[in-house]
Amino acid sequence: MSQSVRLGPVEGEIDAGPAVSSDDDGLPTPLIEVAGVLAKIEWVHKTGSIKDRLARYLLEVSIRSGVLRPGMRIVEASSGNTGISLAYYGRKMGFPVTIVMPEHMSCERIELLRALGADLILCSKEGSFAEAAQIRDAMEAADPNVFNPNQFSNPLNVECHQLTTAQELIAQAGVKIDAFVAGVGTGGTLIGVGRALRQLWPDTVIVAVEPLEAAVMSQGQIGPHSIFGIGDGFIPDIASNGSGGLNEIIDEVVTVSSEEALDAAKWLHETHHLGAGTSSGANFLAAKKIQDRYPVVATVFADGAFKYRSCGLRVCVAGECRFPESCAKSILPLLCGEVAGAVGLG
């Protein structure tokens, strides 16, 4: 951990407040306080990440509007989490799913996609997301029965978090949130939550997080990193101003190295029995870096350690998990041939 960052004890869990959904899909997700930072625990969703919100919302709205119709195939470019969520909800709703993903994503993500029945196309590490998106777009152009969720540009991504994640956070916190911090993959969480907070508190500061090794928003170097789910080497449309710059709602950008993010995730597990993934570690550390300037800082722990065990992260064992009822709803252990309940996701 960075020597300049103050870490402290867990202060406790905050009352969940009114539920936004009652469909047994883990909503509202818990809000806890860790070392003075408010964090929503998003790994308690069915497939273990915040992307379940997006997949379910986007598909349901697209079906109602007639954009997604019976007989169509869902095809998306994903680093893993959106693909896993789309595979689960897409197949549940009766659609075949194809995911295009860079080959260097964690082996757990690849295994989960295959276990969920998705067709998987791996593109090169060098081509990364640009290549994955090109393959997806070519498939869409060649087949009118391909539905492209287009997560990096789809306004439903922002709308989803503005109407769900943000509303839960506001209700659960019960106080003004002075700064909101989130890593940018698609930018949907940051911009969606940010818009809702700004409507309520116009001076709330919105802080983007990106890998130090791929600091495109900070105009730094662009290279490989291991904070999966953020820092794809370009500014997504949702987080852009349309002219090469950042969305006007973004006030600051904080960089976190892959090593720092991994160390932070390990610290959260070892100190507080929180099975956080690498992007969750990055969000937490970024929040700590700005905490001395803002009384109340909030973030999301976007996914857990389950998909990153090959990277050295550990999940909580039975009896150690802080959210046993929520984590028991996850499909991840069963997909991996493990005994549900023997593995706590958080």
Residues carrying an active site annotation: 51, 279
CA distances from 276 to 153, 176, 232, 285 (A): 27, 26, 20, 12
Compute φ and ψ for 205, nearest 5 degrees. -90, 130
Amino acid at 229: G
Question: Which DSSP category does 121 fall into?
Answer: E
Q: Which of 262, 256, 259, 258 has its CA nearest to residue 288?
A: 256
Strand partners, 207: 181, 252
Sign of the torsion formed by the C-alpha atoms of 230, 231, 234 and 238: positive
Distance (Å, rounded) from C-alpha 175 to C-alpha 178?
A: 9
Q: How far is CA 76 from the centre of its chain?
A: 16
What is the side-by-side strand order in the sheet with 119-123? Answer: 119-123, 97-102, 73-77, 146-147
Compute φ and ψ for 326, nearest 5 degrees. -70, -45
